[in-house]
Amino acid sequence: MSRLKASAFRIGIGWMLLALLAAACVPAATPTPGPSPTPVVVERVVTPTPTPPGPVTITFWHAYNPEETKVFNEQVLPAFHQKFPNIRVEAQQVPYDEFRRKLLTSIAGGTAPDVIRADIIWVPELAAMGALEALDVIMPDFNAYKEKVFPGPLSTNFWQGHYYGLPLDTNTRLLMWNKEMYAAAGIAEPPKTIDEFLKVCERIKALGKDKYCFADGGTYGWAVLPWIWSFGGDLTDPEMKTASGYVNGPDTVAAYEFLKGMLDKGYLHPGILGGGVDTAGGFARDEIANLLEGPWMPAIFAAQYPQKQIQWALMPAGKGGSISVVGGEDIVLFKQSRNKEAALEFIRFMLSPETQLMMARVGQVPVRTDVIQQAVQAQPYFALFFEQLKTARARLPHPNWPKIEDLLTSTGQAILRGEKGAKEALDELAPKIDALLKQQ
């Protein structure tokens, strides 16, 4: 439930499939400061020393979900230890909700882990803080990896002229629809547009008072942005200079009014007001007909609800198209690390085709262009995720994003609870975000 939403948060790409399909144009919508092919000036050359002779230990923090952790601990780690008997990786699973706080405390105390699997939305903040090593400086073979990964996920590591990490996995949210409930309501096909989605909801609600068309865990960015963007709205201008006229623009207002209407009509589960709605459980019990979910769900359902089938469809399209939100994780190295060579070996190993494919089996969408075909063959449902990623967008890659999202979440709550009209609440929000965009 909230863990899933959590393990989900990430920013953006949008272009990935382009590389895959060798298509041409770049979707204009991506606010990610482009992974402009900036020639990286190497300021310091680290001679590649062979792996240290004596045994060294490095710490690695991640927020893999239980299924992912199982594969990581039982397959990935043993393979690494076999290949590098002198490097011991102490992996620690840290719950997503506590991850950032725990990490920041340990950085302040000078005891940061060596390497972490970081939510892509944390990297700008960590880089701006000066906590991360620039990999394009310290890693002699950085370019070899840079060329192998999708530019979108790679760009989430870029901050003021340097790359502070490498992408590890990517994802986005698709419409996960409940075939049994659709059948009971007499609907054959998933909705392609938001208008069709509303019609679906009307018929699902007719199934009973306790049947919900849609559910989500709250009003944070990961939840509301697909609706805002698909309605044609936005949070800021493409340069992240101003929110006024965007976050309170007519299309964003329309998106919030749509959600409020969904809630009032009983289409949207009231769990969005907080309190942790068990979205996956509700889906499995045929109480919830649609979710917006990520590629980790099949593995979770296989483990927890093996009798329930999952169907996928693209995010319903509105005036702005079918725009979902990009997520994923990067792997980053901390300046405080004492065993950087060993840590780099681990980073290389995590980006190897073998590891990427191992983790793909539990829903971690690979970032290497050269393993995509194999991954899609093994996990056919990945294909639709790649399709959605063509247009998916990033949450603001801004160091103040945590504060902006806090304001956004509260504003969404005020609107859905009917304390304020959407327009009024968003008009109040805009100047507050403007102020946060200015300070860096």
Partner 1 sequence: MWTQGSLRTQRLRAAYLFMLPGMAFFLIFYLYPLVQALWISLHEWSIMPGQDSRFVGAANYLRALRDPIFWISMRNTVLYTAVTVPGQMILAMLVALALHAIPRGRVLFRTLYYLPVITSWVVAALLFKFLFHSQSGLINYLLVDVLHLADRYIPWLQNPETALLAIMTLGIWKGIGWSMVIFLAALQDIPLELYEAAALDGAGRWGRFRYVTLPMMRPTVIFVLVMLVIGGFNVFLPVYLMTGGAPMHRTETLLTYMYNEAFNFLDFGYGAALSYMLAALIFLLSLFQIKLLRRPMEL
Which residues form the interface with partner 1 (CB under 8 A)?
A: 100-101, 104-105, 107-108, 110, 129-131, 270, 273-275, 402-403, 406, 409-410, 413-414, 417
- Residue (311 or 409) nearer to partner 1, CB: 409
How far is the CA of 371 from the CAs of 171, 355, 415, in angstroms? 15, 10, 44
- Residue (59 or 170) nearer to partner 1, CB: 59
Write down the residue that tokens 């198209």 correspond to: 321
- Residue (6 or 414) nearer to partner 1, CB: 414
Cβ 218 to partner 1 shortest distance, Å: 9
Cβ 129 to partner 1 shortest distance, Å: 6
C-alpha to C-alpha distance for 276 and 2, rounded to whole angstroms = 6
* 162 within 8 A of 136, measured Cβ to Cβ: yes
Cβ 232 to partner 1 shortest distance, Å: 27
Give SS3 for 14: coil
Cβ 108 to partner 1 shortest distance, Å: 4
Question: Of 198, 252, 214, nearest to 230 (Cα)?
Answer: 252
Strands across the sheet containing 311-313: 212-214, 288-293, 174-177, 311-313
Cβ 275 to partner 1 shortest distance, Å: 5
C-alpha to C-alpha distance for 421 and 85, rounded to whole angstroms = 61
C-alpha to C-alpha distance for 274 and 417, rounded to whole angstroms = 11
Cβ 69 to partner 1 shortest distance, Å: 23
- Residue (39 or 110) nearer to partner 1, CB: 110
How far is the CA of 113 from the CAs of 132, 313, 336, in angstroms? 11, 39, 8
Cβ 126 to partner 1 shortest distance, Å: 10
> Cα 292 to the chain's mean position, in Å?
12
C-alpha to C-alpha distance for 319 and 231, rounded to whole angstroms = 5
Cβ 413 to partner 1 shortest distance, Å: 5
* Long-range pairs of 411-414 with CB within 8 A, sequence gap ≥ 24: 411/219, 412/218, 412/219, 412/220, 412/224, 412/256, 412/259, 413/219, 413/273, 413/274
Question: Of 187, 236, 232, nearest to 213 (Cα)?
Answer: 187
- The first and second tokens of residue 171, run together, are 């994802």
Cβ 114 to partner 1 shortest distance, Å: 17
159 forms beta bridges with 162
- Residue (263 or 372) nearer to partner 1, CB: 263
- Residue (230 or 279) nearer to partner 1, CB: 279
Angle subtended at Cα 323 by Cα 398 and Cα 435, rounded to the nearest 5 degrees: 25
- Residue (353 or 431) nearer to partner 1, CB: 431
- Residue (76 or 404) nearer to partner 1, CB: 404
- Residue (154 or 268) nearer to partner 1, CB: 268
Cβ 3 to partner 1 shortest distance, Å: 15
- Residue (16 or 224) nearer to partner 1, CB: 224
